[in-house]
Amino acid sequence: MNAATANVPPLVLASASPRRRELLARIGIIPDAVAPADIDETPRKAEQPRPHAVRLAAEKARAAAALRPDALILAGDTVVGLGARILPKAEDEATAHRCLTLLSGRRHRVFSAIAVITPDGTLREALSETIVRFKRLTHQEIDAYIAGGEWHGKAGGYAIQGSAEGFCAWIAGSHSGVVGLPLYETRRLLRAAGMRLA
């Protein structure tokens, strides 16, 4: 279902993530445009994982809305938290290795925040919190995963939709939220913003 139908403003996804587009497609939503928001994602001093995710999603939505005030803006951000620690998006093998070593045999939380802004400036927000526990990883498993490259650009150094799902001993919460866009919360906010969904 295209967002521009039923007199609804065009839907702009403020993300370049192909995973988020694929997730939206699962619930029949195809964005009319993609406009990645270029913001500083550096955590503030002493910022916790949960408020960090919420803040970034809202900032991305506002940045996109400034460029497309006519549109319905959808933005999201996913943060992996280990206690009060925010694990980074892994951009190099050393970071991915550190993240996986920290997550090995432990529980962590994945906070997936979304923000929707309508043309009248109304901001709606939601947050999905998922608990994931990894099995204890061997050095060989970590090395093999890093060699596969799935970790690149992923919060916490792993992609649950790939082979890292085999590391998950259990998960409590939203699987789609860990992938990058919690579909239940997304659908609820878009409907509240006026989009007609089946």
Q: Please identify every residue annotated as catalytic.
A: 77
Surface-to-core class of residue 14, CB atoms within 10 Å of its CB (0-12 exposed, 13-18 middle, 19+ buried): buried
Distance between CA atoms of 26 and 1, rounded to whole angstroms?
11
| Location of structure tokens 């005030």 | 69
